[in-house]
A and B are shown apart, each in its own frame.
Chain A
Amino acid sequence: MAQIGVGVNEVFLAQMRAKMMSMALKELDDAHAHDAVQEALLAAFVHQDKFLHQSLLSTWLFAILKNKIRDIQREHARQNQHYIDADDSIVETMFDQDGEWHIAPKTWQDPENYASSFDFWRAFDFCMQNLPAEQAQAFLLKEYIELDTDEICVQMDISTSYFYVLMHRARLRLQACLGAQGAL
């Protein structure tokens, strides 16, 4: 980085970094803002030959940062899109067009064996974390907090029939995931 222009030193970089962070934080959360600044600085370093000497170094860095922020936001939008699609496709993944099992469920042992198994709960928590957020929330409220269905629907602001859809998908996903993890 020290090769970029004259007068670039660590003090200047630290100042730039702070300014870039405050700009990135207006658009992104902490971790992603940090990533964006890091990537912008790295990109500046890698592409230093493209630096036009007539423009100020700081202007150039902020232009790169803006692009990085936009990239990250676009990626977020894309992932959220993917999230919703994945949410809707579990039934299509598990069943074929005729409504027959596409991926056969695995046999469960005695639940008492699982309850005391550290490995089972580690796999289970991993599978829970991989559930789409709504499904995880519905499942947690129902099976762990043991709230009434009506209460859950009020809390989550969903209809009863959608609650059953969420629970059905959650159970399909959890069983498939636990099977794939070799936890059963």
Chain B
Amino acid sequence: MDKKPYQALLKCRRASELSSMSQDIRISTWATICLHTHLIVCGNCRRFHKGNIAMKRAIALRPQDKNKAILTEK
């Protein structure tokens, strides 16, 4: 991943993109460092990031019968 756009200091908008992406793929080491450095100093992004992790976990734990409803509706 290109280092230049990060410069170790992320804007919250970019941090939220990386947070979301990190849920879907293994992001590069540099991107991980940038994201987590930002999370240390930014409460809002920390909440969003924890929210993404919690959402994934909650969906994985969701009872199956309730799962079916949403899949047939869509």
**Residues on A facing B (Cβ under 8 Å):** 91, 94-95, 98-101, 104-112, 114-116, 120-121, 125, 128-129, 136-137, 140, 142-144, 149, 163-164, 167-168, 171-172, 174-175, 184
| Assembled-state Cα–Cα distance A103/B44 (Å) | 9
Task: Given A108-B50, A115-B62, A125-B69, answer yes or no on A175-B55 (Cβ-Cβ < 8 Å).
Answer: yes
Contacts of B55 in A (CB 8 A): 108, 111, 171, 174-175
Contacting pair B58 A104 (CB below 8 A) = no
**Residues on B facing A (Cβ under 8 Å):** 11-14, 16-17, 20-21, 23-25, 44-45, 47-48, 50-59, 61-63, 66-67, 69-71, 73-74
Sorted nearest first, the 7 A-B pairs with minimum C-beta distance are: A99-B11, A115-B61, A99-B13, A111-B57, A111-B58, A105-B48, A168-B20
Contacts of A140 in B (CB 8 A): 70-71, 74
Contacting pair B12 A111 (CB below 8 A) = no
Contacts of B67 in A (CB 8 A): 144
Q: Told that A125-B73, A144-B59 touch, could you supply 10 new A-B pairs with CB distance under 8 A?
A: A95-B12, A99-B14, A101-B12, A105-B47, A105-B51, A108-B51, A111-B53, A164-B24, A171-B52, A175-B52
Interface centre among A99, A136, A140 (most CB of B within 10 A): A99
Contacting pair A107 B69 (CB below 8 A) = no
Residue pairs across A and B with CB atoms within 8 Å: the count is: 101
| Assembled-state Cα–Cα distance A114/B67 (Å) | 14
| Assembled-state Cα–Cα distance A115/B45 (Å) | 23
| Assembled-state Cα–Cα distance A116/B25 (Å) | 27
The smallest C-beta distance from B11 to any residue of chain A, in angstroms, reads 3
**Least CB separation from A99: chain B residue:** B11
The smallest C-beta distance from B54 to any residue of chain A, in angstroms, reads 4
| Assembled-state Cα–Cα distance A143/B65 (Å) | 16
Interface centre among A115, A128, A149, A174 (most CB of B within 10 A): A115
| Assembled-state Cα–Cα distance A46/B54 (Å) | 55
| Assembled-state Cα–Cα distance A160/B74 (Å) | 23
Contacting pair A167 B24 (CB below 8 A) = yes
The smallest C-beta distance from A119 to any residue of chain B, in angstroms, reads 12
Contacting pair A115 B63 (CB below 8 A) = yes
Contacts of A95 in B (CB 8 A): 12-13, 16
Contacts of A184 in B (CB 8 A): 51
Task: Given A91-B13, A115-B62, answer yes or no on A171-B47 (Cβ-Cβ < 8 Å).
Answer: no
| Assembled-state Cα–Cα distance A128/B70 (Å) | 9
